[in-house]
């Protein structure tokens, strides 16, 4: 259905120019999400998709899951938000509907848990950062600068990892953080330490936590998650229950 949809988009005046492979892939995943070709035309208008929309992906490292879904490595912190949005769109998502969440979680692109410099900022310095099909990001930290000094990730991530705003931070320090993420993506398996059934289900669970961060705001989320409710009892925790206990790997 890809080529007939390309023709339909062109006839509707939405596509002006050559449809490259990224554009065609966007059509494939949008159709796979259950949309008709006519609906794809409407989505292209709503999301502002043009022949050049996916140009920023050219030359970037893309890892693919077992289902061939693309994950885009972020090697320039200044473009993290843009690449996260494009990756969601490419995978058939509707980033215009999640833009408010990204705006409310904009603090996660700066500061200790944000993207100050390099791949992933201070907390995960020398780490690796990847945009996911959910429109969120996943990161793994590099090895500690000094063996005796804990990585900040060790202080602020629990169990297998913790979501801060838009970023799921894999707990721990790694000699080759990019390999950790690439292996999880290409195998479809959960990253180290997580009890989730698969990476896809983990990311779905963590996206809900990103939505909770946006809904409550920074201070209120921490209050709700850590103080008002006991994080040591995830099966009774309303925020974990909302995110999906099974997706998060909790056995209750």
Three-state SS string across 99-165, please? HHHHHHCHHHHCCCCCCCCCCCCCCCCCCEEEECCCCCEEEEEECCCCCCCCCHHHHHCCCCEEEEC
Q: Is the pLDDT of residue 183 over 50?
A: yes
By C-alpha distance, which of 161, 163, 187 is closest to 174?
A: 161
Q: How far apart are CA 95 and CA 111, in angstroms?
A: 24
Residue indicated by tokens 């058939």: 92
pLDDT band at 148 (very low <50, low <70, confident <90, very high): low
Q: How far apart are CA 48 and CA 41, in angstroms?
A: 10
Q: List, as one string, the DSSP characters of 216-247.
A: H-HHHHHIIIIIIS-TT-GGG-HHHHHH-HHH
Q: How far apart are CA 143 and CA 75, in angstroms?
A: 18
Q: How far apart are CA 27 and CA 153, in angstroms?
A: 38
Q: State pLDDT tens for residues 72-116.
A: 998 877 788 999 999 999 999 999 999 999 999 988 887 555 454
Rounded average pLDDT over 163-175: 89
Give the range among 39-43, 158-162, 169-173, 198-202 with minimum mean pLDDT: 158-162
Q: Is the pLDDT of residue 244 over 90?
A: yes
> Number of helices (H) and strands (E), helices first, in the chain?
11, 6
Q: How far apart are CA 104 and CA 210, in angstroms?
A: 10
Structural element, H or E, at residue 169 = strand 167-174
Position with higher pLDDT, 32 vs 119: 32
Rounded average pLDDT over 180-196: 95
The answer to whether the CB of 169 falls within 8 A of the CB of 153 is yes
Q: What mean pLDDT value characterizes the chain?
A: 89
Rounded average pLDDT over 137-141: 90
pLDDT at 122: 43
Residues of the chain above pLDDT 90, percent: 70
pLDDT at 83: 94
pLDDT at 157: 59
CA-angle at 106, arms to 247 and 138, nearest 5°: 35
Q: Is the pLDDT of residue 205 over 90?
A: yes
The answer to whether the CB of 108 falls within 8 A of the CB of 120 is no
pLDDT band at 161 (very low <50, low <70, confident <90, very high): confident
Rg (CA), the chain: 19
Q: Is the pLDDT of residue 47 over 90?
A: yes
Q: State pLDDT tens for residues 117-130.
A: 444 544 555 788 89
pLDDT at 118: 44
Q: Is the pLDDT of residue 221 over 90?
A: yes
Rounded average pLDDT over 15-22: 94
pLDDT at 231: 87
């Amino acid at each position: 259905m890809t080529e007939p949809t390309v023709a339909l988009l062109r006839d509707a005046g939405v596509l002006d120019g050559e449809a490259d492979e990224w554009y065609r892939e966007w059509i494939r995943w949008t159709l796979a999400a259950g949309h008709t070709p006519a609906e794809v035309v409407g989505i292209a208008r709503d999301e502002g998709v043009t022949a050049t929309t996916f140009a920023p992906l050219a030359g970037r490292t893309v890892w693919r899951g077992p289902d061939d879904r693309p994950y885009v490595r972020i090697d320039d912190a200044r473009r993290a938000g843009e690449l996260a949005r494009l990756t969601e769109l490419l995978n058939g998502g509707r980033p215009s509907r999640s833009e408010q969440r990204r705006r409310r979680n904009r603090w996660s692109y700066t500061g200790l848990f944000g993207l100050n410099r390099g791949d992933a900022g201070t907390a995960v310095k020398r780490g690796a950062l990847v945009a996911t099909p959910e429109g969120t990001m996943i990161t793994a930290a590099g090895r500690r600068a000094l063996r005796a000094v804990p990585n900040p990730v060790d202080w602020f991530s629990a169990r297998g990892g913790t979501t801060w705003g838009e970023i799921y931070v894999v707990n721990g320090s790694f000699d080759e953080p990019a390999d950790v993420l690439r292996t999880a993506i290409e195998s479809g398996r959960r990253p180290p330490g997580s009890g989730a059934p698969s990476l896809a289900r983990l990311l779905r669970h963590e996206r809900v936590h990103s939505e909770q961060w946006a809904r409550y705001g920074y201070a209120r989320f921490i209050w709700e998650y850590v103080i008002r409710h006991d994080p040591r009892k995830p099966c009774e925790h309303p925020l974990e229950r909302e995110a999906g206990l099974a997706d998060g790997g909790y056995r209750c």
